[in-house]
Amino acid sequence: MDRPHPGYGVGMSILPHSTPAAVPDGARPLGEGPFLPSGEQIDWHYRKPGWQPGDASTITPMRVVRDDERGLVAWLAPGTLQESQGAPDGRRVRTVPLERRWLEPRIRIVEEWWGNGILRIAPAGAPWSVWLFWSDATGPEWTFAGWYVNLENAHLRTDRDTYSSDHILDVEIEPDGSVSLKDEDEVIAAIEQGRLTGAQAAQIERHAGAAIESFRAGEWPFDPEWVRWRPDPSWTRPSLAGLDDLRAG
């Protein structure tokens, strides 16, 4: 089904705190060309609302699978090194106790993507991306582990970078189609610690409902073709510029 979800659009795309998107001048929505061919590198950014140069963010180098008016499909290879957000002592943010997670400052760190690779699909204009996971990818027949819907701001992109802001709450969909929400406890903590307002959290929950409707309608990010998809064996693992300097610093 190659048409946008009827709920996609400006009204569905919020940023917590209602701040302007922290993206370069001239950034355009996904779905507007020029587009990258399959196999090219694109860097996938998550920035906090109000991000400023030098602030921590997550930047993941990926290979383009498809880039067109429907949105962006990209492959995150296992073992990829990415820039990520760390606690002041350098640990991953998720190691910070929940009661302080949105109060602690964050620093820039280098992190390896562990586990199997994932396929990310960002539909144009949608406040989420769909991530496909496999529990076993060692042979020709991979074991599909389900879909993970990352609720986030609708992407804006430049020629070789795409930008979003994470909305904390996520949706997990098992291979049998059973659905559950993830990180509801983090949303509660984010409200208590001033990262979100109650109204913003309610809007994000509505986004979750729209994403679930998209899955149940069988829209294109959930097409079985993506479960069967495999990366080009000739692709090398992409590298992110500046990681050596970040490590040295």
**All domains of the chain, ordered by start, with CATH?**
34-248 (2.40.380.10)
The whole-angstrom separation of Cα 130 and Cα 31 is 16
Out of 111-115, 119-123, 132-136, 212-216, least confident range? 111-115
Asked if residue 34 has a cis previous peptide bond (ω within 30° of 0), the answer is yes
Q: Is 9 left (phi over 0), alpha (psi -120 to 50) or beta?
A: left
The residue whose two tokens read 């760390």 is 86
> How many alpha carbons lie under 13 Å from residue 110 in its C-beta half-sphere?
14
Model pLDDT for residues 178-232, shown as the tens digit of each residue? 999 999 999 999 999 999 999 999 999 999 999 999 999 999 999 999 999 999 9
**How do strand 161-164 and strand 41-46 relate by DSSP bridges?**
parallel
DSSP 201-224: HHHHHHHHHHHHHHHHTT-GGG-H
What is the model's pTM?
A: 0.91
Give the pLDDT band of residue 174 (cuts 50, 70, 90): very high
The whole-angstrom separation of Cα 12 and Cα 30 is 15
